[in-house]
Amino acid sequence: MKVVKTDSGLLYAEKDVEGIKTDFLIFASKHKSESGSPAFTAHVPGNWNAADMGGKPGQISKSDPISMKAMAVSLDRQRRKAGIDVGVGMEVDHHGPLCMTPCCFTEIGSTEKEWKNEGYAAAVASAIEDLDDAKSKVEVKEIAFCIGGGHYCPAFNKMELESGIAVAHVLPNYATDAVTMEAFMQAFERTTEEIDVVLIDWKGLKAPQREKMLKFINEAGAEWRKA
């Protein structure tokens, strides 16, 4: 494992990481939320629409869904081992950098109190170090592109941690209105594994959003079902 420090901040680190040769790149970072609730999070970087925080508009990064699932499982294992009563969850694809090496963000949230907590940092470090072992033990039956719901993936978190489904990318409800077919197709093109199914948080989309997403799914020739 190689540790690299960026000069530009992780959201704008395209040039810092483009020369790194690895099978999977982990951005160890902090997470900030409006609620300020403590959390450990994992997600793929990228922008379905505008690029307000790094990356490029309508461009998502490459995902390794099995490694990201293992990362979430490893985070959950290590926080339990350390006796840390903080949840582990996903976020949707958002912010920069745009990265064509398979990658994910692994984050401590959500305030300075948690960011400075050495126990939390140690749990994340241990989860990263334990990733290969976690990856060898996760059982993956399906690779999924998930659509709908809010930023923190309420319909998809439990399946990522407890089922045989590995999540490749997550497109939230608030991004569906403006997302283009070109950006939508990147979920299939920028994933190390073949996507088996598109999972839809049916109640997490308005009727016009569902209609648009089903049209895109049919045009992509993909299988889908309700989450």
The predicted-structure confidence for 164-193, as pLDDT tens digits, reads as follows 999 999 999 999 999 999 999 999 999 999
Two structure tokens written together for 98 = 């745009």
- What pLDDT was estimated at residue 39? 93
- What pLDDT was estimated at residue 5? 84
- What pLDDT was estimated at residue 35? 85
- What pLDDT was estimated at residue 8? 82
The closest alpha carbon to 169, from 135, 151, 144, 206, belongs to 144
pLDDT score of 55 more than 90: yes
Contacts of 79 (CB under 8 A, 6+ apart): 40, 86, 88, 123, 127
Pairwise CA distance, residues 112 & 61, whole Å: 28
Two structure tokens written together for 71 = 């990362």
3-state secondary structure of 89: strand
Pairwise CA distance, residues 112 & 216, whole Å: 41
The burial class, CB within 10 Å (0-12 / 13-18 / 19+), for 75 is buried
Sign of CA dihedral 197, 174, 214, 154: positive
Return the DSSP state at 202. G
- What pLDDT was estimated at residue 103? 98
Tell me what percent of the residues of the chain surpass a pLDDT of 90.
Answer: 90
Pairwise CA distance, residues 160 & 152, whole Å: 13
Tell me what percent of the residues of the chain surpass a pLDDT of 70.
Answer: 100
Confidence of residue 33 (pLDDT cuts 50, 70, 90): confident
The predicted-structure confidence for 94-145, as pLDDT tens digits, reads as follows 999 999 999 999 999 999 999 999 999 999 999 999 999 999 999 999 999 9
The alpha carbon of residue 31 and the mean position of all alpha carbons in its chain are separated, in whole angstroms, by 13
Mean pLDDT, the chain, integer:
96
- What pLDDT was estimated at residue 1? 79
In one-letter notation, the amino acid at residue 203 is K
